Amino acid sequence: MAQPSPKPKPSPETAVFEPWNDPEAKPLIEFRNVTKRFGEFTAIDDLSLRIYEREFFALLGPSGCGKTTMMRMLAGFEAPTEGHILLGGQAIDTVPPNKRAVNMMFQSYALFPHLTVFDNIAFGLRRESRDDEKIEARVEEMLRLTRLSKFASRKPHQISGGQRQRVALARSLAKAPKLLLLDEPLGALDKKLREETQFELMDIQEKTGTTFVIVTHDQEEAMTVASRVAVMDEGRIVQVATPEVIYEAPNSVYVADFIGDVNLIRGTAKARGEGTAPAANEAPQEEAPGTTAPPASAPAPATGRHDPQPNAMGRWLHDRLLSPVIGPRRDQPKALPAPEAAAELPPPAPAPESATDIPEGGIEIHWSEGAAPIVASSGDPALDGQQVVLSLRPEKVSIAKEKPQAHNALPGRVIDIAYLGNISTYHVELPDGTMIKAQMANTRRIARRDITWEDEVWVSFTATAGVVLTE
């Protein structure tokens, strides 16, 4: 259930692997204005796409979006109605599947039940060569790669699901195809095995240097394994980008909504002029005693209202006399705080910057009558006056009982709390009925109890946390 956190993909080369940004790079696969119709139904609609050598490319979308049709066209089981598919610069539209340097790992694995693991892997090799020694050497290599050597003489029904999955992978890799297609390869595995296998797949992809195209409806899986992800909807590609970009900078509400959990706040954009007073400061503020910004040296910007804090004399004593002996003062005491203080620990996701350093520019979103507008510094001022949607990831929203110092702080009421073990998701209803999800990592073992159902709370996020989209 955890959000797939974008992570850098380990690359075997020292240089960054980004052939899609290199105008010189030749694509291994190219879809040129491909359309595929089944009778009246258009499965693929005028689609163009380039996939480069050594890429791990994911086609992601809900069922019926055309991703499987694309894969079957690559394998040769379907021919495009219009347009061309090029493999290494050659049109392969009419090449039958048995003449393509493309192999596929089937969703059902499609292992031959009457053949042993060894013969399954050797099957493709035997079609093109009679050299038994060479075939055997290659099969042994594949068995080693997929850690199946012990099972070579077993039949598919005598091994476990995870092993069958590896046999299917070994069989499709045995002929060293230019392109390997994986059709929902991990769908039949349980969650733990699936995660292990994802890393195994990435490892094997790097070892063999084969280009992988994976079809999946599981966004976590796509984000984990792929170098680039194409999000599809109704026969079109909505966005092609690296997992990080797809997650952090979706280009449409569809992508934002499909990938992970998201808050969508609709409103009217208004350009922020230079020197416009930050919106958050316009809202009336009750300065609670002790909320005055801590000294600049404070390591954690969390507002430590409930924590026992040294008073002015204590700080003076420490800074002047004791710091050379016991090191710099920590504003957060090391001792366990009183239980009710747990709410303030740990600092929620990106620390809210002090309200005064909202970046200039961007837009304000007037999302609800009478409520303070939301500041989104990433918004294009040219959107002035248009309807926009702010897409905000729940983990970038923090929640507090008292109004925090943040670019954007909205009051609301806790409707629901979902405890997921590693994280908790709070559903907060704003006065106008909008639901906002805020996510907190449960870094402490004892669940926080100070925010509970029906509590009046503040949700806050920075001016840079959201992405402004138009519908």
Query: Based on CB atoms, which residue is closest to other proteins, 167 or 410?
Result: 167
Contact 359, 463 (CB under 8 A): yes
Contacts with other proteins, 115-134, as mask; x by CB under 8 A: --------xx--xx------
Burial 152-178 (b: 16+ CB within 10 A, else e): beebbeebeebbbbbbbbbbbbbbebb
Residues 343 and 401: their CA atoms lie apart, in Å, by: 8
Q: What is the C-alpha to C-alpha distance for residues 72 and 67, in angstroms, rounded to an integer?
A: 9
Site string for other proteins, 232-261 (x = CB under 8 A): ------------------------------
- DSSP E strands in 75-169: the ranges are 82-87, 90-91, 102-105
**Which x/- pattern over 54-93 shows residues binding other proteins (rule: CB under 8 A)?**
---------------------xxx----------------
The count of other CB atoms within 10 Å of the CB of residue 15 is 6
Which value, to the nearest 10 degrees, does the dihedral of the CA atoms of residues 103, 109, 112, 116 take? 100
Considering only the stretches 18-26, 164-172, 204-212, 378-386, report the one whose residues sit in contact with other proteins under the rule CB under 8 A: 164-172
Angle formed by the axes of helices 117-128 and 132-145, to 10°?
130
Interface region with other proteins, contact rule CB under 8 A, candidates 154-162, 315-323, 377-385, 391-399: 154-162
**What Cα–Cα distance (Å) separates residue 281 from each residue in 381, 419, 465?**
20, 33, 18
Closest CB to other proteins among residues 49, 186: 186
320 forms part of the interface with other proteins (CB under 8 A) = no
Question: Counting contacts by CB under 8 A, is residue 114 touching other proteins?
Answer: yes
N- to C-terminal Cα separation, the chain: 28
Using the contact rule CB under 8 A, the part of the chain among 41-49, 50-58, 107-115, 428-436 near other proteins is: 107-115
Q: What is the nearest approach in angstroms of other proteins to the Cβ of residue 81?
A: 18
Q: Give the nearer residue to other proteins in terms of CB position, either 78 or 344.
A: 78
Q: How many CB atoms lie within 10 A of CB 191?
A: 10
Does position 109 interact with other proteins (CB under 8 A)? The reply is: yes
Site for other proteins in 167-196 (CB under 8 A): 171-172, 175, 188-190, 193
Residues that bind other proteins (CB under 8 A): 75-77, 96-98, 102-104, 106-110, 112-114, 123-124, 127-128, 156-157, 160-162, 164, 171-172, 175, 188-190, 193
